[in-house]
Structure 1
Amino acid sequence: MRRRVLLLVAATTSLVLVAFLVPLALLVRTVATERAVLAATADAQALTALVAVADPASLAVAVAQVDATSPSQVSVFTADGAVLGAPAPRTPLVELAARGSSASGAVDGGREIVFAVRDPAGRTGVIRTFVTDAALTAGVGRAWLLLAGLGVVLLAVGLLVADRLARRLVRATIDVAAVSHRLARGELDARADPAAPVEVGVVAGALNTLAGRISELLREERETVADLSHRVRTPLTALRLDAEALRQPEDAARIGAGVDAVQRAVSSVIDAARRRATDTAECDAAVVVAERVAFWSVLAEDTERDVRTDLATGPLPVAAGRADLEALVDALLGNVFAHTPDGSAFAVRLGPRPGGGARLLVADAGPGLPAGADVLRRGASGGGSTGLGLDIARRTAEQAGGGLTLGRSPEGGLAVTVNLGPAARP
């Protein structure tokens, strides 16, 4: 951008200088020519009176003095054919003046000016001055050099000013871009300088307004999510009391554990809403996955499902929070129970990932994915559900520096592989 501004200013300034300096240079040459011609004419006219009244000897002395002091060549052709002053041939203009007509014209090497005068005897004489080309252009070269230097100086000054302005404009643009990148990283307190030059300042002001609006919307969203804890507190308390009232301790413990899981899920949503995007989270995947598999194994036993597990003992630190990883495992195992018939077996494997982190595999013996189903798209489902389970798992895996892939299990069902990145080292 800076280079383009400089090129534009250079082209514009050059056109202006050419349009200004070329006519001025021609004018300087014309003025120099006219000045030399006027000086030669004045020298010739000074001899007019002497030719008319002076004797030949005095006229010869006067002509020699004028010729010696004048930058042009001064000659007098007398009526009897003598040439006084600078030697000169009888040119056509001299012959014309001898017949009584004064004239001037350009000849080889310069300009010739002739005047017809009458001597004391009434005969016609001729005063001739010859101005050389060097005299006609005296000082023109130096004046042109000065004009050229002036043009270079003006061009340099214009480029210097344009460079300063372009630097300020480019710097302001870079600052606005840097602020936008900071906002993208979650630094919502970043603001651009609205005093930036011209349109960049308008963009900076609009970006600041947008950042303020984003902060306001996020604050409202966090407050709304925070209200969720108060809204579900009473129903959860009622469920817990009902669970404690059950006669079977095993059922009471299982339902109580479910209520606790709902409470943890709600709390994790609130914490995630309040947590800044730049905050880091980590947990031991081996502990979390083992706990969630144990929780779902009870339901698997009730639905006559065979559970095969191969879980690493750990520790397996990953770049995901405990609540997020629990939600991921619950989403995958919940899909198994929701989309496969009772009695369908499933397997859960957890191991270290090459390069750090962990790899989780959940495979079932169900019917698999419907043909052409895009279940990784948020809200898409091939089984009549909300379509959020796999999307939650995918987003958690990507936020942890990994990813999620779908495949076919050896039993013909669905196999979901989740890669989780390693936790940040202290």
Structure 2
Amino acid sequence: MRRWLALLVAATTSLVLIALLVPMALLIGAVAENGAMSRATAAAESVAVAVGTPDLALAVEQVPRPVTVFLPHETTLGAPAARSDAVRLAATGRSVTAAAPGGREVLVSAQSPDGTAVIRVFVPDAELTQGVRAAWLALLVLGLGLVVLGIVLADRLALAVTRPVDGLARVSHRLAGGDLSARAEPGGPPEVRSVAMALNHLAGRIGDLLAAERESVADLSHRLRTPLTGLRLEAESLRDPEEAGRVQARVDALERAVSAVITEARRRSAGRGPCDAAEVVRERVRFWSVLAEDQGRPVSVSLPDVPAPVAVGGEELAACVDALLGNVFAHTPEGTAMSVRLSPRPSGALLVVEDSGPGFDPGLLERGNSGRGSTGLGLDIARRTAESCGGTLAVTVPDGGGARVEVALTAPQRAPGFPGGHGSAGVSSP
């Protein structure tokens, strides 16, 4: 906008200055020419007064410019000059001006006792345009200065409008990225201030709605867990072991589905601020290591010694790790080895969860599908977590069998000042 406003003002100012300065330049040229011709006419008239008197020669000498007096009977006095057609016309008693080589000539007729004399004063072109070029140059400099001044003032005025608009754009991008604390500072014209206040009101309203959603999710979690616990107790009280196992499996599936729905709702309502991936993964692995020890699962953990900031909220990343580790425990036999690795990268961090179970079904990558492989419902949660920060999810089969899930997380645009390194790399627990 600043550039367009500057171009508009430059074009408008240029048109106005052209309309004013061009006629003024022509007027200056005409005034200079008229002045030179007037001085030459005055000089010729001063000589014409002395025609027919003994002082004619003295009068010619006193004029500071070339003067020629054409006397009757084809005689001349003063500077030599040819008797042109204009001179012969002036000899009839008419005072005229005519063009001559290198300038103009002023011809004034005067009566003498012997007849009509013609006084010729030559005006060179240099005198006709004396001072014109300097005046034109001054007008050109003045016009350019006015154009530059107009552009500078237009840029300042445009900046007063575009700077608040740019601030609104930055705040809207921060809000879109999940930073609900972003607020616009009202400034600029009244219309822009009104937009800034409306955007701030919208941001506050979004925060209120997300807070209400979090409360609803907490209430939903409480209400759904209670009947699921009752169903599990009812399944355990069945006398037929086969029927009890079948009902128990259905209850487990329902519980996983409910957990996924609640986790997804929490992920949407959670903040999108960056977090230290190393700290979050370390804490979640520590939580699951108790169950791994009970089931006799060897767990290999490799975490960096330094913080690994990623553009994902801590709660969101914790839900992703829980989903991936939960899948391993749910879909692989007890005693199956697993590993968790987090590798910092210039673009963020790479989280790898690998197990030596029976493998996975490629259809699990589609939302809503589940199966009996080593991964399951958590893949969709992990994929959404990665994509929320611009990362990717990849599921592969290692050479020795099993499943490997790689979650690439991107770094925040402005990494916060995380504290010093935590933990150690290459830690193994039985």
Shorter chain as denominator, the TM-score bin is 0.5 to 0.7
Q: CA deviation at 1:43?
A: 3.7
Q: CA deviation at 1:47?
A: 5.0
User: RMSD of the alignment, in Å?
Assistant: 4.9
Cα distance in 2 between the residues matched to 1:83 and 1:425: 109
Q: CA deviation at 1:57?
A: 0.4
Alignment partner, residue 56 of structure 1:
53
1:9–1:159 CA contact under 8 A, matched in 2: yes
Alignment partner, residue 417 of structure 1:
405
Cα distance in 1 between the residues matched to 2:214 and 2:138: 72
Percent of paired sites with the same residue: 41
Alignment partner, residue 33 of structure 1:
33
Matched, 1:310 2:301: no
Cα distance in 1 between the residues matched to 2:389 and 2:145: 61
AA in 2 matched with 1:106: A
Alignment partner, residue 120 of structure 1:
113
2:341–2:352 CA contact under 8 A, matched in 1: yes
Cα distance in 1 between the residues matched to 2:187 and 2:131: 52
Alignment partner, residue 304 of structure 1:
none
Q: Which consecutive residues of structure 2, in runs of 5 or more, have no partner in the other structure?
A: 412-417, 421-430
Pair 1:81–1:354, CA change in 2 (3 A): closer
Matched, 1:378 2:374: no
1:268-320: CA deviation from partner (whole Å, max 9, x where unpaired): 7787676532274724354333445578x6xxxxxxxxxx9432378999996
Q: CA deviation at 1:354?
A: 5.1
Pair 1:416–1:90, CA change in 2 (3 A): same
Greater RCO structure (CA 8 Å; 6+ sep)? 2
Instruction: Report the 3-state secondary structure (helix = DSSP H, G, I; strand = E; otherwise coil) of the residue aligned with 1:39.
Output: helix
Q: CA deviation at 1:180?
A: 3.2
Alignment partner, residue 226 of structure 1:
218
1:368–1:408 CA contact under 8 A, matched in 2: no
Cα distance in 2 between the residues matched to 1:21 and 1:405: 71
Alignment partner, residue 186 of structure 1:
178
Alignment partner, residue 76 of structure 1:
69
The residue correspondences of 1:141-156 to structure 2 (distance < 5 A) are 141-156=133-148
AA in 1 matched with 2:54: A
Pair 1:357–1:390, CA change in 2 (3 A): closer
Alignment partner, residue 92 of structure 1:
85
Pair 1:367–1:208, CA change in 2 (3 A): closer
**Greater radius of gyration (CA):** 1
Cα distance in 2 between the residues matched to 1:401 and 1:350: 25
Cα distance in 2 between the residues matched to 1:78 and 1:6: 67
Judge which range, 216-225 or 133-142, deviates more.
216-225
AA in 2 matched with 1:137: T
Match of 2:396 among 382, 387, 407: 407
Pair 1:46–1:368, CA change in 2 (3 A): same
Q: CA deviation at 1:205?
A: 6.2
Q: TM-score under structure 1 normalisation?
A: 0.68
Cα distance in 2 between the residues matched to 1:357 and 1:63: 105
The residue correspondences of 1:16-415 to structure 2 (distance < 5 A) are 16-46=16-46, 48=48, 51=51, 55-65=52-62, 67-68=63-64, 72-121=65-114, 123-169=115-161, 171-196=163-188, 204=196, 207-208=199-200, 210-229=202-221, 231-232=223-224, 235=227, 238=230, 275-278=270-273, 280=275, 282=280, 283-293=282-292, 309-312=297-300, 324-334=320-330, 336=331, 347-353=336-342, 359-362=352-355, 364-365=357-358, 368-369=361-362, 373=363, 375-379=364-368, 389-396=378-385, 404-408=393-397, 415=403
Pair 1:405–1:289, CA change in 2 (3 A): farther
Judge which range, 195-204 or 27-36, deviates more.
195-204
Pair 1:202–1:83, CA change in 2 (3 A): farther
Pair 1:397–1:127, CA change in 2 (3 A): closer
Q: CA deviation at 1:142?
A: 2.6
AA in 2 matched with 1:57: P
Residue-pair matches, total: 386
Cα distance in 2 between the residues matched to 1:346 and 1:403: 30
AA in 2 matched with 1:30: A
Q: TM-score under structure 2 normalisation?
A: 0.67
Instruction: Report the 3-state secondary structure (helix = DSSP H, G, I; strand = E; otherwise coil) of the residue aligned with 1:95.
Output: helix
1:305-343: CA deviation from partner (whole Å, max 9, x where unpaired): xxx943237899999666653333334554x38xxxxxx
Cα distance in 1 between the residues matched to 2:343 and 2:49: 116
Q: CA deviation at 1:365?
A: 3.3
Instruction: Report the 3-state secondary structure (helix = DSSP H, G, I; strand = E; otherwise coil) of the residue aligned with 1:276.
Output: coil
Instruction: Report the 3-state secondary structure (helix = DSSP H, G, I; strand = E; otherwise coil) of the residue aligned with 2:298.
Output: strand
